Amino acid sequence: MINHNLSQFVLHAFSVARHFCSFCSDITRAVAIGISRLGPGGGTASLVQQAKRIRDSSAVGRAIRSHKRNGPGHPVLIHYHIFKNAGTSFEWAVKRALHSGVRRVDQKQHDGFVSQGDLIKYIEENPNVKVISTHQAAPPAPDVSGRRVFSSILLRDPIARIRSIYEFERTQASDAPGSVAAKQMDFKSYVEWRLATTPRMFCNFQVHYFRRNIWRGHSEVSQTDFERAVNALDAVDIVGTVGRYNEWLVLAESVLSENFGKLRLTPSRHNQTEGKMFHSEAEVFAHLVAELGSDLAQYLVTQNQLDMRLYQVADALLTRRLAERDVIVELRDAYDGSQLPRADRSPSS
């Protein structure tokens, strides 16, 4: 009798504990979502720290991604458009495929900021919007009542990106400081000017981009910022790199077709500056050394170590997402025989 009662008591205690843990989890998530809706500066310091801990778990990042995309209502994609990372080409592709409902959401100031609260408000006030592209917000994507929220982003080799920015700003019809400087200076002078005035543009800029929802200061990024960026990437549905843009577009097509109906995203390069094409990182660096000198070129490499690591994470996530959705499976494609030497296709003796 005592053993039976003890067993019942243990089972009851376990049930209570399980429900209590579930309740705590719901409360924690509600706090995080509430803070994200407030945008920068919202909530008390202790609540911000609690939300930070939630965001800093990749497992929670995956859970957030699943929750947003499996919710009720019409879908909406938020594309986080990092400057000179092929975002304009993607905007063109989705406009051509969807015909309507593609919008760019940015502040008028070139250094403006779009908070999660701003995105929520825009989506709620524009129920027909299907895709939002923004330069001035950063993942993770917000929860929006009555909508299924997806997100996408492209990262780029930070060293190759430097020359692309210079070429773009030289031809850009703008009176922004960068555009004015690029038109007046050669490449080396422009790089030196950037490093003296806005070093974050050329130093781990992509890791810095992910700080927008936490801190918008100009201090150097840290290992903690890198870890936060990795966790944010893990919560993005369509992650990729500019170097593998066509594969990334296939992934985007797969995700969007499931939610907007069958569509075709056509690969095309838009807003791309003309210039010498390089086929390897060694070629990029050799050209950089020739124009900037070895000391300055090596300095740029050193100052982009975190961006290089984040780029590799994005590349790995693209490979993973393609395999998860059975879109591109490299090993299977190799074994179909078309990419293997004849000897490798022969049965083993």
Return the H-helix or E-strand segment holding 336: none
pTM above 0.85, yes or no: no
Tell me what pLDDT residue 69 has.
59
pLDDT at 220: 82
pLDDT value at 150 more than 80: yes
Q: Mean pLDDT throughout 306-325?
A: 96
pLDDT at 269: 65
Cα separation, 76 vs 147, in Å, equals: 7
Is the pLDDT score of 97 beyond 80?
yes
CATH number of the domain located at residue range(s) 72-338 in this protein: 3.40.50.300
* Residue-range domain boundaries for the chain: 1-55, 72-338
Q: Are 326 and 180 in contact (CB under 8 A)?
A: no
Q: Look at residue 214 in the predicted model and tell me its pLDDT.
A: 60
Q: How far apart are CA 170 and CA 70, in angstroms?
A: 44
Q: Residue 46 and residue 278: Cα distance in Å, rounded?
A: 49
State residue 271's pLDDT score.
Answer: 53
For residues 235 and 312, the answer to whether their CB atoms sit within 8 Å is no
**How confident is the model at residue 228, as a pLDDT?**
94
* Element holding 149 (H helix, E strand): strand 147-155
Structure tokens at 63: 């859970």
Q: Across-strand partners of 239?
A: 153
- What's the rounded Cα separation, in Å, for the pair 246 and 241? 9
Closest to 304 measured CA to CA, from 149, 159, 112: 159
Confidence tier at 336 by pLDDT (50, 70, 90)? confident
Across the range 290-304, mean pLDDT stands at 96
DSSP letter at 235? Answer: T
DSSP bridge partners of 76: 149
Average pLDDT over residues 226-246: 95
Quick one: tokens of 103?
Answer: 């919008």
Average pLDDT, the chain: 80
Instruction: Enumerate residues 6+ apart whose C-beta is below 8 A from 106.
Output: 112, 114, 134, 135, 136
C-alpha pair distances (Å), 3 with each of 6, 8, 209, 321: 5, 9, 60, 51
Encode pLDDT of 257-287 as tens digits: 999 999 999 887 655 554 555 668 888 899 9
**CB-based burial of residue 253 (10 Å sphere; 0-12 exposed, 13-18 middle, 19+ buried)?**
buried
pLDDT digits (tens, 9 = 90+) for 164-197: 999 999 988 888 899 999 999 999 999 999 999 9
Contact assessment for residue 56 and residue 228, using Cβ atoms and an 8 Å cutoff? yes
Residue range 54-76, pLDDT digits in tens: 445 455 555 555 555 555 679 99
